Amino acid sequence: MLKVFICEDNEPQRLKITECIEKYIMIEDLNMEIVLSTHDPDILLSHLKRNSNVGLYFLDVDLRHNLNGIQLAEAIRKYDPRGFIVFITTHGEMLPMTFKYKVEAMDFIVKDDIGGIESKIVACIKNAFSKFTARSTTLQANYVFKIAEQKVISVPYDKILYIETSSQSPRKVILYTTESMFEYYGKLDDIQKQLDERFYRCHKSFIVNVQAVECIDKKEHVVYLKGGYKCFVATRRIKTLLRLFNEQ
């Protein structure tokens, strides 16, 4: 599911944008939902710190906050490097700043164009949803990594069970699949950015494929996976993992 986030400090405009998006999602029956509509960048970033999603973000540039919308987009990229960012603003002259901050915006909608705002929002939704769907099915069907200088491995995402930091060497990780396991140099932070929305960082030492989870023991903080495998889940991440597990 593609998650939608809105950050706009002008309440009437925020409500209008939210209503436009909700209406289009409902009419087209898209696998999308508005997760958050807020005036506060801190609330949005706090959510992203706790949840791993690919999102579509509609951001105002002037948020009357210590972060403007472009700086907020830069911060979003740390948690969601594959997300889709759209700016809606009266400050069309700030477009060049999006290149300076390297936020790779999908579009820059100027509020002065009253008649065209709604149609442009819809166009962005169509574009983002199309790319998200294609990305989930084909472009990112395999995780590619090196286990030696000259040896490259490609593993289908649906065969990955989980990835953990090696207990023998903190510079290495171990990837478990339905058929085998691989140990190689890497960091979970970097690996997480390469994976899609089915993978969740359930513990500082584990990334789990939610689709491979069979059950979650909340009392013992253990995740049981297909094939008899298991890994740990941090207390503060159980709630999110349970939600992702129940949504699939």
Full set of structural domains in the chain with CATH: 2-139 (3.40.50.2300), 142-247 (2.40.50.1020)
Closest CA to 32 of 43, 40, 23: 23
Residue pLDDT tens, the chain, 248 long = 889 999 999 999 999 999 999 999 999 999 899 999 999 999 999 998 887 678 999 999 888 888 888 899 989 988 888 889 999 877 655 555 555 555 678 888 887 665 578 899 999 999 999 888 876 655 456 888 888 765 778 888 989 999 999 988 888 999 999 989 999 999 999 999 888 889 999 999 999 999 999 999 999 999 999 989 999 999 999 999 999 998 76
Whole-number Cα distances in Å, 142 to 154, 170, 238: 6, 25, 27
Residue 199, beta-bridge partner list: 209
Contact status, residue 108 vs residue 87, Cβ threshold 8 Å? yes
- Look up residue 145 and give its amino acid: F
Q: What global pTM score does this model have?
A: 0.57
Query: What gap in Å lies between CA 200 and CA 220, rounded to an integer?
Result: 19
Whole-number Cα distances in Å, 10 to 20, 23, 57, 122: 15, 20, 16, 20
